[in-house]
Structure 1
Amino acid sequence: MLENKLGIKNQLELNQVEERLSKMKIKDLYDSGEINCIEVGTFKGLSDITNTYMRIFISLLERFERLT
């Protein structure tokens, strides 16, 4: 679960926001084409996808916080 930096007290609402953020992250990963550059089945590939995922997550979280 994400650390609740959004100040959401309702668990159901927090779960919905986390799900929406996750879906936005995945869409951005595919839309950017970065998914095609990741080595499959290697530690480097796992590291790359984790770094990409975190970078996308941070940018989406910043965008989401501006909307609320």
Structure 2
Amino acid sequence: MRNSLRALRSAAGWTQEELGRRLGVSRQAVNALETEKHDPSLDLAYRIAAVFGLAVEQIFENPHG
């Protein structure tokens, strides 16, 4: 699923490790999300949105149009 996670993380000045700590996941999980090798669970997508203060739709592109 296309997302703007890398750009948001970079704009916040966080490393993948720092974002992972804030989300309760590993640095490797953050990398997999940023490179679109893994789609987040609904719970994780909402945690990501909360960390950045955005709606889920502002971070993740709807693959179904």
Compute the TM-score of the two structures, normalised by the length of structure 1. 0.35
The structure in which a higher percent of residues are helix is 1
| Higher alpha-carbon Rg | 1
Compute the TM-score of the two structures, normalised by the length of structure 2. 0.36
